[in-house]
Amino acid sequence: MKENIILIGFMGSGKTTVGQKIAGELGFTFLDTDEMIVKKAGMEITDIFETQGEAAFRKMEVDLLKELNATVTHAVISTGGGLPLREENASLLKKLGLVNYLKVTKEVVLERLKGDMTRPLLAGENVEEKVERLLSSRDSIYQSVCHMQINAEIGTPDQVAERVISGYKKNIL
């Protein structure tokens, strides 16, 4: 396993906020797969979904994960919520670093993403139903892909970051 910290979990689980804190604390580089894809594609995620479809976006995620495996160490990598779903990504993630699942409940997701327009999978009507359906189908996948599961609803982002860091330190010793 490479010396990176990876954060997986549902939209709104705090991967970016917590990831930036961990990176600052450890002096690691912070990377965000969504942001990297937006830069490479030259368009926003909603536009990628609209013009090229979700499958094209998922392919970009796999390609990026392979690239990161070949190039990155001492980084904290925040991943898009659907990235762990592809079977081939599970082993790529585990090789890339210590995979932490930031677990949250439907209520917290709904509260944090109220009014959000940037997530195509939650656009339109019946957001609560969509979150419920996606969360329940993904939870077991996130669990099987991670090395560590963190309850991301207990404590401040700083405290969640500290829990990830202490797990990481134990694992690299």
Shortest distance in whole angstroms from residue 135 CB to ligand S3P? 10
Interface with ligand S3P (CB under 6 A), residue total 10
Shortest distance in whole angstroms from residue 169 CB to ligand S3P? 26
Q: Which is nearer to ligand S3P, 11 or 75 (CB)?
A: 11
Q: Which two tokens stand for residue 5?
A: 């910290």
Q: Which is nearer to ligand S3P, 27 or 129 (CB)?
A: 129
How far apart (Å, rounded) are the C-alpha atoms in residues 69 and 54? 23
Whether residue 75 contacts residue 127, with contact meaning beta carbons closer than 8 Å, is answered with: no
Q: Which is nearer to ligand S3P, 103 or 119 (CB)?
A: 119
How far apart (Å, rounded) are the C-alpha atoms in residues 123 and 98? 32
| Subset of residues 72 to 131 that bind ligand S3P, contact rule: CB under 6 A | 80-82, 119-121
Helices vs. strands in the chain: H and E counts, helices first: 8, 5
Shortest distance in whole angstroms from residue 172 CB to ligand S3P? 26
Give φ, ψ of 4 to 5 degrees: -135, 160
Sheet containing strand 75-78, strands side by side: 29-32, 75-78, 5-8, 98-103, 148-151
Shortest distance in whole angstroms from residue 34 CB to ligand S3P? 5
Q: Which is nearer to ligand S3P, 38 or 148 (CB)?
A: 38
Q: For residue 149, what is the enclosing H or E element?
A: strand 148-151
| Subset of residues 2 to 61 that bind ligand S3P, contact rule: CB under 6 A | 11, 15, 34, 45
Whether residue 38 contacts residue 14, with contact meaning beta carbons closer than 8 Å, is answered with: no
Q: Which two tokens stand for residue 69?
A: 């495996």
Shortest distance in whole angstroms from residue 119 CB to ligand S3P? 5
Q: Which is nearer to ligand S3P, 59 or 170 (CB)?
A: 59
* Footprint of ligand S3P (CB under 6 A): 11, 15, 34, 45, 80-82, 119-121
